[in-house]
Amino acid sequence: MRELGCTDWTLAVLEGGPWLEGRSASIMVNGITVGECGELDPHVSESFDLNVPMSGAQIDVQLLSSVMQDPVH
């Protein structure tokens, strides 16, 4: 987030989805959820033949750009 120039962001507890319980978060910018991140649940990893713990994230870039200030201006 720092590299994107976003300064007003937080993480919030997230339950459900493909994430391992207790190891995931919603990515919030100015109070709006713009994505999720966390460690994949082992059942999800097994479904894709991934044999190691995997972390991931998804961010709605269009939503992110609409809620954060332009870092250039």
pTM of the prediction? 0.82
- pLDDT at position 56: 92
- Domain of residue 35, residue span: 9-67
Nearest to 10 by CA among 35, 42, 47: 35
Give a yes or no: residue 3 inside a domain: no
Single-letter residue type at 67: V
Cα–Cα distance for residue pair 4/16, rounded to 1 Å? 27
Measured in residues, the chain has a length of: 73
Task: Give the torsion sign (CA, 39, 43, 46, 47).
Answer: negative
* Strand partners of residue 27: 11, 35
Question: Total domain count for the chain?
Answer: 1
Mean pLDDT by groups of 10 residues along the chain of 73 residues: 86 93 95 95 88 90 87 66
Does residue 52 lie in a domain region? Answer: yes
Please indicate, yes or no, if residue 1 is contained in any of the structural domains. Answer: no
